[in-house]
Amino acid sequence: MASKLIAIVAGVGPGTGAAVAKKFAASYPVVLLARNPDNFESLAEEINKSGGKAIGISTDISDSKSVKAAFGKIEDEFGVGVGAAAAVFNASGRFVRKPFLELTEDDFTAGLDVSGKGAFLFSQATLPLLLKGVDAGSKYPPSLIFTGATASIRGSALMSSFATGKFALRALSQSLAREFGPKGVHVSHAIIDGVIDIPRTKEWLKDAGPDAKISANGIADAYWNLHTQPRTTFTWEIDIRPCVEKW
Amino acid sequence: MASKLIAIVAGVGPGTGAAVAKKFAASYPVVLLARNPDNFESLAEEINKSGGKAIGISTDISDSKSVKAAFGKIEDEFGVGVGAAAAVFNASGRFVRKPFLELTEDDFTAGLDVSGKGAFLFSQATLPLLLKGVDAGSKYPPSLIFTGATASIRGSALMSSFATGKFALRALSQSLAREFGPKGVHVSHAIIDGVIDIPRTKEWLKDAGPDAKISANGIADAYWNLHTQPRTTFTWEIDIRPCVEKW
Amino acid sequence: MASKLIAIVAGVGPGTGAAVAKKFAASYPVVLLARNPDNFESLAEEINKSGGKAIGISTDISDSKSVKAAFGKIEDEFGVGVGAAAAVFNASGRFVRKPFLELTEDDFTAGLDVSGKGAFLFSQATLPLLLKGVDAGSKYPPSLIFTGATASIRGSALMSSFATGKFALRALSQSLAREFGPKGVHVSHAIIDGVIDIPRTKEWLKDAGPDAKISANGIADAYWNLHTQPRTTFTWEIDIRPCVEKW
Amino acid sequence: MASKLIAIVAGVGPGTGAAVAKKFAASYPVVLLARNPDNFESLAEEINKSGGKAIGISTDISDSKSVKAAFGKIEDEFGVGVGAAAAVFNASGRFVRKPFLELTEDDFTAGLDVSGKGAFLFSQATLPLLLKGVDAGSKYPPSLIFTGATASIRGSALMSSFATGKFALRALSQSLAREFGPKGVHVSHAIIDGVIDIPRTKEWLKDAGPDAKISANGIADAYWNLHTQPRTTFTWEIDIRPCVEKW
């Protein structure tokens, strides 16, 4: 199986991660990483039943041993030397919104653990596979896509834990874009600016009309469009928001 | 013909403008605006011969009378009340790179005339048509797309004429995105960061490899992808550069 | 008098311009430029009475003939070959806040005329004097300071006329900083983010407490601090806002 | 001594930290924090001999116990309930410039440990003292100033470890500025864009002229100017570079 390129999605949940996984599953076998198997089990089943291939691996993305074990399983499944066509980092730390002086050290570092160290571990694990994808002549330039947020470019009051992680993630993605673009890997960063329409947000923004929440499928389409850009035409950053969003 | 939505491209030349026109011509009748008919005649012919529909109108986009006349001709051709699915502002002022103290007033205002006043005139002329496109139930949200450059976010030495125009254009596009997004018109801005691969640049960057110049077709694809985003998932800004670009 | 360095302030009114003029008048003869003499007459008198030297010249900063005449008068007053220690561009176009489709061409270009062309004319007229200030061994690096606003970095809905001008002004200031910094002229840009405390705004923000409006004298102090930075330590951009401002 | 407001500088070394400490020591007793006592011993002696008051405390700013111990010593020295007029965070993590795939986890997290967690611990320890400074009627608004770098706004290739930390620090400072500005604490961030002129950089940029390196005293003056801004006129961010810097 080593010749077939795969896609790897970290941070699979009911929103962006699942929509992205399904979108990419139409073209690639997909690996679903999440800490909690509840987040990928039914999704993997759905993909496998509908003619795609998906495996889920329970992974703590901010723990190097867990990440190493996950990529060992990927090799077990797809063969040593498997290459990747796409890797999407969609994980986020625990969201803590509190007066700054009430934050515990754990509260504060929750963002940096995932968006800093976790994104580092994911990038170090996936970039070798993406470079193999380049060598293997991937139809589209192998892509490493990071999911950011409003907090990637704005440090709002009470949001320091989330914003420090998201700023750091943006820095990482920009540095990697500059280092790995010339090697043929397309590194991108998406600023998701708004509420995503998922079961948990069903009751939110009900008075703001049918277009007030971001479609997870719309994000997945945008990521796919980034993925299919040729080497002469790479986009590093896009912002995404509902048409009615105030910004 | 009034029921059929059109696309309007200002600043048609051998690069981005032509590629965008051909891309959108696959779905819409296209109007090609350029000061010099040499820039649209063969393109219009090519589109019309290949099954599309295109008309070219010689227009000085920074002159209100000329713009008014052009949109009169559009009504003559497509009917009073015609709506638009897309409008692309791809015009640029004369590029003047000189020590600041050697710039004439005309040199300096060349950028602002096109990217400031010209973009204003184009936006005022096209937005009513785009709003009609919303009312007419356009398949994709009617889109107003502006072509920017590296100079949209960076005022380099000796580049004040170009950068002032491009900064102003970016401001306009952002303001319009905030005003017209809630009305269903998708306003976007693209930062084209690099040399576009056109006949005039054939000899440029020859030592930098096959991926050193931006593909005009790649830009056209990116604009089309912006156009097809649903109302829940609008991107205001993208950057585009070759994978090997230093930035 | 030709050996004495002067300061020139364009856009003198009851707020920032007057405060800056008074601050710099403690060290330099000051030239006050405004279209309407009401804006500089009592100020010039106040400075002259308190031991400083000031002259006011009625000037339309966006008209090249008017600017040329003003700098002719400066030479008449201070001698051909006079150098400058500081030049402050504080002019703003007419502020027009309207739905975009209701803007006239004059409404729209009001911002660009002053913040684009006007700033160009002022810079071309003052930079030769500032370079003379460098040659003359000015105690502090001769400084060219531009007054920006929230709209320098944000194109809000309904604000396209103001924002296009302010974005353009920021581009100009950045380009000039890069070209003239190595020549010893310190070019800076200030983002004034909030309401300035002047007679016209007396009734504004009354419920927001004593710190809700920006002190014009505080801005003048900030500009002076920029002026006194040595060649090894130039700041291009600062933002200024009241401590209670939401941003 | 509890009534006297103090200044606290973290990251005291031969450059910015020492210059800032000396500048603020002219007005306040200063506390010098550095991991290695070599970095503060002679500086404390110099300040104490010249009529100021300084104490140095060996502190690992990224370790909560060490920070807690340091602030215990501050209370021992200046009294329980001592307030602060200024706190300057000038620490930086180990600078690691390597191809991304060669970074160890320790290499990568070196930046985030100091600029992320360390800045958090320092801010949580100093903000209560700065708020006491507000209550005590500090002459100038109590100030919390963070030292950033070019990497605060640019993620260059091979610089991900440094840039992720510096981006995170900028996010923290912006979030704190928005939360604590209305409470009277002035939070600022400085982007130091260039090489600082210190003994270690003596041989650097020798061909670039006398103005090629940033003066540490110039930075200290800039920080003092930030500190003395009134509540109506707060600057959050400044950039600082030599006049000849390319940027």
Minimum CA–CA partner of D182 in chain A: A157
CB C84 within 8 A of CB C140: no
Minimum CA–CA partner of C214 in chain D: D232
pLDDT of residue D2: 35
Minimum CA–CA partner of C239 in chain D: D235
Minimum CA–CA partner of A164 in chain D: D168
What average pLDDT does this structure show over C59-74?
98
Is residue A228 over pLDDT 90? yes
Distance CA A106, CA A128 (A): 32
Interface of A with D (CB under 8 A): 64, 99-101, 103, 105, 108-109, 112, 116-117, 120-121, 123-124, 127-128, 151, 154-160, 163-176, 178-180
pLDDT of residue C14: 87
Helices (H) and strands (E) in chain C, counts: 7, 7
Q: Write the CB contacts of B174 (distance below 8 Å, at least 6 apart in sequence).
A: B189, B236, C154, C155, C163
pLDDT of residue B13: 87
Interface of C with B (CB under 8 A): 64, 99-101, 103, 105, 108-109, 112, 116-117, 120-121, 123-124, 127-128, 151, 154-160, 163-176, 178-180
CB A231 within 8 A of CB A141: yes
pLDDT of residue A1: 35
Closest CA to C220 of C3, C27, C6: C27
Nearest 5°: phi and psi at A97? -115, 105
Nearest to A175 among D123, D155, D179 (CB): D155
Distance CA D39, CA D53 (A): 17
Interface of D with A (CB under 8 A): 64, 99-101, 103, 105, 108-109, 112, 116-117, 120-121, 123-124, 127-128, 151, 154-160, 163-176, 178-180
Which of B176, B221, B243, B245 has the highest number of chain A CBs within 10 A, making it the mutation to test binding with A? B243
Distance CA A190, CA A19 (A): 15
CB A208 within 8 A of CB A165: no
For C186-202, how does the pLDDT look when each residue is reduced to its tens digit (9 = 90+)?
Answer: 999 999 999 999 988 99
Percent over 90 (pLDDT), chain D: 93
pLDDT of residue C4: 87
Say yes or no for a CB contact (<8 Å) between D243 and C141.
yes
- A218 to chain B nearest CA, in Å? 6
Say yes or no for a CB contact (<8 Å) between D172 and A158.
no
Is residue A2 over pLDDT 70? no
- D190 to chain C nearest CA, in Å? 10
pLDDT of residue C2: 35
CA C110 to chain centre: 17
Minimum CA–CA partner of B217 in chain A: A233
Say yes or no for a CB contact (<8 Å) between A233 and B245.
no
Say yes or no for a CB contact (<8 Å) between C233 and D240.
yes
pLDDT of residue B3: 43
Nearest to C159 among B101, B164, B175 (CB): B175
**Encoding tokens for residue B135?**
């009312």
Nearest to C100 among B100, B157, B179 (CB): B179
Q: Which position has the higher pLDDT, D3 or A196?
A: A196
Residues of B with CB below 8 A from C101's CB?
124, 127-128
Nearest to A234 among B235, B242, B246 (CB): B242
What average pLDDT does this structure show over D63-88?
97
Nearest to B232 among A182, A213, A232 (CB): A213
- B244 to chain A nearest CA, in Å? 4
Residue B1's pLDDT band, with cuts at 50, 70 and 90, is very low
Say yes or no for a CB contact (<8 Å) between A214 and B237.
no
Residues of D with CB below 8 A from A158's CB?
175, 179
**Alpha helices (H) in D50-115, listed in sequence order:** 64-78, 105-112
Minimum CA–CA partner of D186 in chain C: C243
Interface of B with C (CB under 8 A): 64, 99-101, 103, 105, 108-109, 112, 116-117, 120-121, 123-124, 127-128, 151, 154-160, 163-176, 178-180
**Encoding tokens for residue B116?**
């400031």
3-state helix, strand and coil shares in percent for chain B, rounded to the nearest 5: 45, 15, 35
What average pLDDT does this structure show over C112-136?
98
ipTM of the complex: 0.97
CA angle B240, B243, B245 (to 5 degrees): 80
Give, in order, the Cα–Cα distances in Å from A128 to each of A61, A76, A78, A212, C246: 17, 16, 15, 39, 45
What average pLDDT does this structure show over B100-114?
97
Residues of B with CB below 8 A from A246's CB?
178
- A133 to chain B nearest CA, in Å? 16
Percent over 90 (pLDDT), chain C: 93
Interface of D with C (CB under 8 A): 141, 178, 181-182, 184, 186, 197, 211, 213-215, 218-219, 221-222, 225, 229-247
pLDDT of residue C93: 82
For D95-130, how does the pLDDT look when each residue is reduced to its tens digit (9 = 90+)?
Answer: 889 999 999 999 999 999 999 999 999 999 999 999
Minimum CA–CA partner of D239 in chain C: C235
Contact pairs from chain A to chain B, CB under 8 Å? 97
How would you class B53 by CB atoms within 10 Å of its CB: exposed for 0-12, middle for 13-18, buried for 19 or more?
middle
Say yes or no for a CB contact (<8 Å) between C232 and D197.
yes
Nearest to D109 among A117, A171, A175 (CB): A117
Percent over 90 (pLDDT), chain A: 93
Distance CA A41, CA A36 (A): 9
First and final C-alpha spacing in chain B: 46
Give, in order, the Cα–Cα distances in Å from A241 to each of A164, A224, A238, D117: 21, 17, 10, 31
Q: Which position has the higher pLDDT, C157 or A199?
A: C157
- C51 to chain D nearest CA, in Å? 27
Which of A152, A213, A234 has the highest number of chain B CBs within 10 A, making it the mutation to test binding with B? A234
Interface of B with A (CB under 8 A): 141, 178, 181-182, 184, 186, 197, 211, 213-215, 218-219, 221-222, 225, 229-247
Residues of C with CB below 8 A from B160's CB?
120, 171-172, 175-176
Query: Rounded mean pLDDT of chain D?
Result: 96
Q: Which position has the higher pLDDT, C241 or B1?
A: C241
Distance CA A70, CA A59 (A): 6
Neighbours of chain D (3+ CB pairs under 8 A): A, C
pLDDT of residue D61: 97
- C239 to chain D nearest CA, in Å? 5
CB D119 within 8 A of CB A103: no
Q: Which position has the higher pLDDT, B188 or C210?
A: B188
Residues of B with CB below 8 A from A186's CB?
243
First and final C-alpha spacing in chain C: 46
Say yes or no for a CB contact (<8 Å) between B160 and C167.
no
Distance CA B133, CA B128 (A): 9
Contact pairs from chain C to chain D, CB under 8 Å? 99
Is residue B58 over pLDDT 90? yes
Say yes or no for a CB contact (<8 Å) between C128 and B154.
no
Is residue B33 over pLDDT 50? yes
Is residue D1 over pLDDT 80? no
For B196-206, how does the pLDDT look when each residue is reduced to its tens digit (9 = 90+)?
Answer: 999 889 999 98
Closest CA to B166 of B103, B97, B216, B119: B119
CATH number, domain A6-240: 3.40.50.720
Q: Write the CB contacts of D160 (distance below 8 Å, at least 6 apart in sequence).
A: A120, A171, A172, A175, A176, D100, D103, D108
Say yes or no for a CB contact (<8 Å) between C168 and B168.
yes
Nearest to D127 among A101, A128, A169 (CB): A101
Q: Which position has the higher pLDDT, D5 or C13?
A: D5
